[in-house]
Structure 1
Amino acid sequence: MPKRYIVEVEGVPPSPSPISNAVVVGNMCWISGQLSVGPDGAFVAGTAREEAERAFAHVFRIAEAAGFSRGDIVYVDLAFLDLADLKEVNGLYAEMFPEGRRPARTVYQAARLPFDGKIKVQAVAAR
C-alpha cells in the first residue's frame, strides 16, 4: 500500500471544518475545497474572479507544500453559487493553466457555498 500523509500548510488559513488541507497517497495529492479566505481565516467577499484568485492561490500553495507544482494539477472541481460567473472565471482559468496543460475539470452550480461565497475550488495533483 502506498504511503499516505496529511498536508497542513502554514500560511493557508485553517478551515472551520474538521478537514486537512490535502492528503497525499503515493503520487497523488487531493486538495480540499478552498474558498476566498484571507490570512486571518475570515472570508473575503469579492467578484467571482477575485474569490477564485484567492481560492486558487490557496490550492497552489497547498500543492507546493505537498511537493507538487501547478503543472502537476490534473483535475479541478469548481462549485459556483451562480453559473453565470463561469465566463468571468474561465478567463482566469485560461491564464493560470496554459493550452496543452489544462487539467480535466468539473463545473457545477451549488445551492449554497460556505460563507455564501461565489466559488469553491478543489483539485487533484499527480506526479
Structure 2
Amino acid sequence: MSRKYVTNVDGVPPSPSPISNAVVVGNQCWISGQLSVGPDGKYQPGTAREEAERAFAHVFRIAEAAGFAPADIVYVDIAFIDLKDVPEVNVLYGSLFAEGRRPARTIYQAAALPFGGRIKVQAVAARS
C-alpha cells in the first residue's frame, strides 16, 4: 500500500521535531499532534477553548492538504494538562462536528505538553 507524507502545510507552522504533519495510507490520514502555535511557530497561550481552536484549525488544514475534509475525521485524541478544561473544549468540539457524525474520541491528562501547552490534538481521517 502506498504512503503519502504531508509536510509544509500552508497556515501550519513547521514542527521543530523531525515529523510529518500527516501520513496518508490508503483511505486513512494520520495527523500528528497539534498545539496552539502561531504563524511564527511559537506557542500561543490562551484559554482552553482558544488553544483548542488553534490546534483544531491546524488539524483541519493538514487534513485538507492531505486531500481529506474535516468531516472525514473519524477519531480525535486530545491531551489536556488539566481535565477541568474538558467541559470548555466539549462546547467547541460540539460546534466543530455535526451531531450524529461526531468522531470517536479519547481524552486524557498529560503531565506536560511541548512548549508548556495546555492542549494537544491529533486525529485520524478516513474515507470510503
Q: Distance in 1 between matches of 2:48 and 2:15?
A: 20
Match of 2:60 in 1: 60
Q: Which runs of 5+ in 1 are unaligned?
A: none
- Do residues 78 (structure 1) and 78 (structure 2) align? yes
Post-superposition CA distance 1:3-50 (Å, at most 9, x none): 101001122101111111000000000000000000110110000000
Match of 2:121 in 1: 121
Q: Secondary structure at the match of 1:31?
A: strand
Match of 1:3 in 2: 2
TM-score normalised per structure 1: 0.98
Match of 2:24 in 1: 24
Q: Distance in 1 between matches of 2:104 and 2:11?
A: 27
Post-superposition CA distance 1:39-85 (Å, at most 9, x none): 11011000000000000000000000000001100000000000000
TM-score normalised per structure 2: 0.97
Q: Secondary structure at the match of 2:38?
A: coil
Q: Secondary structure at the match of 2:105?
A: strand
Percentage of pairs with the same residue: 78
Q: Secondary structure at the match of 1:84?
A: helix
Q: Distance in 1 between matches of 2:115 and 2:67?
A: 30
> Following TM superposition, where does structure 1 have runs of at least 4 consecutive aligned residues deviating by more than 3 angstroms?
none
For structure 1, which segment, 4-13 or 44-53, has the greater mean C-alpha deviation from structure 2 after superposition?
A: 4-13
Match of 1:104 in 2: 104
What is the deviation of 1:98?
A: 1.4
For structure 1, which segment, 73-82 or 10-19, has the greater mean C-alpha deviation from structure 2 after superposition?
A: 10-19
Aligned length: 126
For the aligned residues, what is the CA RMSD?
0.6
